[in-house]
Amino acid sequence: MNLYWKGEHPVAKKRYDVIVIGAGAMGMAAGFHAADKGASTLLIDSFDPPHERGSHHGDTRIIRHAYAMHEAYVPLALRAQRLWEELERETGTELNRKIGLLRVCERGAPSLGMQEKFADAYGIPLERIDAAEMSYRWPGMTFRGDEEGCYEPQGGLLYSEACIRAYRSLALSRGAVLRTDEPVLAISSEAGPVAVTTAKGGYEADRLIVCAGVWASRLLAGLGLPIRPIRKPIAWFRADSPLYDAGTFPAFTYNVPTGEYFGIPGDAASGLKIGRHDGGRPADPDTVERRFGAYSEDEAELRAFLRDYMPGANGSLVRGSVCMYAMTADEHFVIDRHPADERVWLACGFSGHGFKFASAVGQMMADLAIRGETALDRSPFSLARFQRENRSRP
C-alpha cells in the first residue's frame, strides 16, 4: 500500500479526534503518537514533508542530553533518545549515530558548570576537558588556549529527514491521514468542534495540535506570539583530512568571541557541516531568499570560523542551504494550551535547538491533547512567561 498520499485521500473523512497542523518534526511525531494511542488523527501540511521550506532539512541534527539552559530539557532529551531508538527498532532504519558531542566555551563559563551538574544528577556520562586535551584528542581543532569543553560520548547526530520519513510511515500505518500541499487558512473554535479550513476543504476535531514552525505567529496572530522567523545559512565544506570524518570527529558547538557555531562531521564526499546559531536575518518564511550565497555573509562567516578554529576543513564549498529558525526571545520553547480554548495545544518557537526533542515533544503533545496532562515538566515553555514580561514593562 502506498502510504504517501497527496491530494484527496480515498478514505478521508471530515471529523477526527485530533488534527495536527504542521507535519514537520514535532507535528509528524505528534501525529504518530496520537494515532498510536488509538485516536483518529489528521495531519495537515502546506508542503510534502520532509521538505526544504521549514527547519528540518539538511540531512542531520545534533543530539545531546546534558543541557545547561534549564533542567527540564534533560529528562526531555533522555526521553527523546529512548523514543528515537524505539523508532529505529520498529522501522529498521538508522536514525542516530553516537559519535560524541563536544561543547566548547570560554574557560569557567557558568553553563559548563550547569552542564556538569545536570549530567551528574541524571547519570549522563560527561567529561570536562581543557584546550590542551581537546587539541590532543581532535587535532583538527585549534584553540586560543582559554577554552574549556564538555564532551558527551553518548551525544551525536540524528538523520533528520530520515526521522520524519520514519514517523510518517508509522503514523500512516497506525491509521493517521496525511494531507500534503494543503495550506491552512483559518482555525475556528467558537462553537462546537474545532474547525480547520484549508485551501482544499474543511475539517473538524475534538482536539487540535498546532506545530506550524515559522508560520505559527501568522496562523495564531491573535495571540501575539513573540516568535521571529530567522534565515539561517548552512554549508558543507570539503575537508581533505580524515581528521574530520564522523568516525573520529565529534559533533560540536563552539561559543567563540565572533559567535556561536555548530557542526556535524560527514565524510570526504559530503564534507563538514557548519552553521551559526546566533545572528541571521529576520525573514518572512513565504518570501525568504532561499539561495545560499545570496548574501556575502552566508559563506564568509562560516569560512571565518573554519579559518580560525578548523583550518583543515576550510576546503571548497560542497553545497549550501538555507533553513529557518522560529526564535523566541529567551530561546525556550512554547508548549502550552491556547489561552482561549483548552482544546487547542501549541508547540512552536523551537529556536534552532528543538529537533533532537521532536520524538518526546510529539509524545507530549499527544498526551496533552488526548489526556490533558503529561509526565514531563513543561513549566519553562509556558505562554505565561511572555505575559509576565509584558506586564513588567513600563
Q: Is 356 a catalytic residue?
A: yes
Q: Is 57 a catalytic residue?
A: yes
The catalytic residue among 150, 163, 323, 348 is 323
Q: Is 277 a catalytic residue?
A: yes
The catalytic residue among 33, 53, 56, 57 is 57
The catalytic residue among 103, 207, 277, 353 is 277
Separation CA 8–CA 23 (nearest Å): 17
Long-range (24+ apart) CB contacts under 8 A made by 189-197 are: 189/340, 189/341, 189/343, 189/344, 193/15, 194/19, 194/341, 194/343, 194/344, 196/19, 196/21, 196/44
Q: Is 33 a catalytic residue?
A: no
The catalytic residue among 61, 64, 79, 338 is 61
Classify residue 21 as exposed, middle or buried by CB count within 10 Å of its CB (0-12, 13-18, 19+). Answer: buried
Q: What is the DSSP string of 320-372?
A: EEEEEEEEETTS--EEEEETTEEEEEEEE--TT--GGGHHHHHHHHHHHHHHS
Q: Is 61 a catalytic residue?
A: yes
Question: Considering only CA atoms, which of 310, 295, 222, 296 is closest in space to residue 261?
Answer: 310
Bridge partners (DSSP) of residue 18 are 41, 207
Residue 299, classed as helix, strand or coil, is: helix
The catalytic residue among 273, 276, 332, 338 is 273
Q: E-strand spans in the chain?
A: 15-21, 41-44, 60-63, 96-97, 101-106, 127-130, 147-152, 156-159, 177-179, 184-188, 194-198, 202-210, 227-237, 251-256, 259-264, 272-276, 281-282, 317-328, 334-338, 341-348
Separation CA 351–CA 69 (nearest Å): 13
Q: Is 323 a catalytic residue?
A: yes
The catalytic residue among 41, 53, 56, 60 is 60
Question: Annotated catalytic sites, by residue?
Answer: 57, 60-61, 273, 277, 323, 356
